[in-house]
Amino acid sequence: MTNTGNQDPLHGVTLETLLTRLLEKYGWAELASRIEINCFAKDPSINSSLKFLRKTPWARQKVETLYLQSLWPDKQD
């Protein structure tokens, strides 16, 4: 039996890419209302959010879940 590929839907998606795409789709205010963490609500930035999410597994899981639940247009070349 051979494995036809990785079944992880986040395989190959970096945390920075994930956060950037969510930010483009929702903006900081909407992210803060959907996921109540201070790094989205108070003086938000990509760098501070990445630092927090890398150190806080429960928050990262919430962000990854939102990313997976969001509808994304097909990849355009």
Q: Which CATH number fits domain 15-68: 3.30.565.10, 1.10.720.30, 3.30.70.100, 1.20.1250.20?
A: 1.10.720.30
pLDDT at 75 over 80: no
* CA 18 vs CA 1, 3, 4, 52: distances in Å: 32, 26, 24, 14
DSSP for 13-49 reads: --HHHHHHHHHHHHHHHHHHHHS--HHHHSS--HHHH
Question: pLDDT category, 77, cuts 50, 70, 90?
Answer: very low
pLDDT at 37 over 60: yes
User: Percent of the chain, pLDDT > 90?
Assistant: 73
* Residue extents of the structural domains in the chain: 15-68
pTM (2 d.p.)? 0.81
